[in-house]
Structure 1
Amino acid sequence: MTDRKVKATDRKARATERVARTTDRIVKAVDRAAKYGDRTVKVVDRAAKYVDRTVKVVDRTVKVVDREAKYVDRTVKIVDRTAKIVDSPGRAMERKAESNG
């Protein structure tokens, strides 16, 4: 039982480090793109393995929010390290369909 707890703690620590590295990349991308104030960012960085996680941008710092977190006002999608503001997740799908032809 004790061994299992230790292993779980190690896994959690490694996951926290991964989130921190991912968050750093997102912060840099958001900083480069613009100031978004209190918005929600949807992570679509394929390399990050955090697709469909959401992070909250508050005063240009990024905090990881639950997977089930609701979108606030607008969504900022970071795609290829550039940020695009989309009106809503539904509208994002429409624009994706339009851009595909």
Structure 2
Amino acid sequence: MIVAKDSFEITGMYGDKWKIEDIEEVTLLDEMPEVTWKINGYGLSTTAKGVFKVKEYGRSLLFIKKESPYIYIKVGDQHVFINGGSPEETKEWYEELAG
């Protein structure tokens, strides 16, 4: 994930770019909500990337690895869950987004 002054971007397959001003909510989660269905993407025991149904959130973009924490971002009508390669990296991204 690349966080800039006025936008953030998730690179790679299923990635996109959003304006910081469009973020409605950013939350750091200790546990990932239950993922109920894969719509388009891939899900392994250690990684999930793509479009999935998440309990209580509905259709969501996931860019997650098994290790917590996770960042939840509500931007427009999209729900995005992401975490980095380490808990420290994830917390750093969260601080940049929550600003």
More strand by share: 2
With structure 1 as the length reference, what TM-score do the two structures score?
Answer: 0.30
More helix by share: 1
With structure 2 as the length reference, what TM-score do the two structures score?
Answer: 0.30
